[in-house]
């Protein structure tokens, strides 16, 4: 299948998923209060719901900081950070595998010199590049889509993700813990 056709299928899939969540009312549940309450009400099933929502949220462009803030406010900065790290990795992997399944390595097949130049840079240092991208952009869905469509090997994606997420998650944990204490939200 041609790369542009695969990219179109990915875009249509994401738009359909977003429309489904928007019109069904499920998107309204992706807020700080709901996520925090799920974790507080039941630690085990709440965390499983948290991970599932993080995975789905990543596909439909819900910012990861909402999940991190909910976990920190419900569990504190250490346990909330660990829960978020675990959920973020699963979410990134889920998004990568879903988009790779639908779109393959469509970016790799484009005959665009700019795309090919970017891919050569990614190919030269994939783990380092992905780790740095994670430090800068954390779980941004568009980054997950692009990396999935880039043809980068899954294990390199996973290692780069595992290495790049801890620093920004730790910094956000400190920030949200401070905000939670200042606003008496804990």
What are 155-168's pLDDT values in tens digits?
999 999 999 999 99
Supply the pLDDT for residue 61. Answer: 87
Per-residue tokens: 179: 């905000």
What are 51-69's pLDDT values in tens digits?
999 999 999 888 889 999 9
pTM of the model as a whole = 0.91
Supply the pLDDT for residue 100. Answer: 97
Q: Cα separation of 114 and 124, whole Å?
A: 16
Which stretches of the chain score pLDDT less than 70? 186
Up-side HSE of residue 2: CA atoms within 13 Å toward CB? 4
How far is the CA of 3 from the CAs of 97, 102, 128, in angstroms?
Answer: 17, 11, 26
Q: Cα separation of 17 and 175, whole Å?
A: 32
Residue count (the chain):
186
- Phi and psi at residue 92, in whole multiples of 5°? -65, -40
Query: With helix as H, strand as E and coil as C, how does the chain read?
Result: CCHHHHHHHHHHHHHHHHHHHHHHCHHHHCCHHHHHHHHHHCHHHHHHHHHHHHHHHHHCCCCHHHHHHHHHHHHHHHHHHHHHHHHHHHHHHHHHHHHHHHHCCHHHHCCCHHHHHHHHHHHHCHHHHHHHHHHHHCCCHHHHHHHHHCCCCHHHHHHHHHHHCHHHHHHHHHHHHHHHHHCCCC
Q: Cα separation of 149 and 44, whole Å?
A: 34
């Amino acid at each position: 299948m041609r790369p542009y056709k695969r990219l179109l299928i990915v875009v249509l899939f994401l738009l359909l998923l977003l429309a489904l969540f928007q019109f069904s009312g499920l998107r309204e549940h992706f807020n700080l209060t709901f996520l925090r309450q799920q974790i507080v009400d039941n630690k085990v099933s709440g965390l499983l719901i948290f991970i599932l929502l993080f995975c789905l949220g990543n596909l439909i462009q819900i910012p990861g900081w909402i999940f991190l803030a909910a976990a920190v406010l419900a569990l504190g900065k250490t346990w909330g950070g660990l829960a978020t790290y675990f959920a973020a990795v699963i979410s990134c992997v889920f998004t990568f595998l879903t988009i790779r399944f639908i779109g393959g390595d469509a970016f790799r097949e484009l005959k665009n010199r700019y795309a090919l130049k970017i891919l050569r840079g990614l190919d030269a240092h994939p783990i380092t590049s992905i780790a740095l991208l994670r430090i800068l952009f954390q779980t941004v869905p568009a980054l997950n889509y692009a990396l999935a469509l880039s043809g980068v090997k899954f294990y390199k994606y996973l290692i780069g993700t595992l290495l790049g997420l801890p620093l920004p998650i730790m910094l956000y944990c400190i920030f949200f813990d401070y905000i939670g204490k200042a606003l008496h939200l804990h």
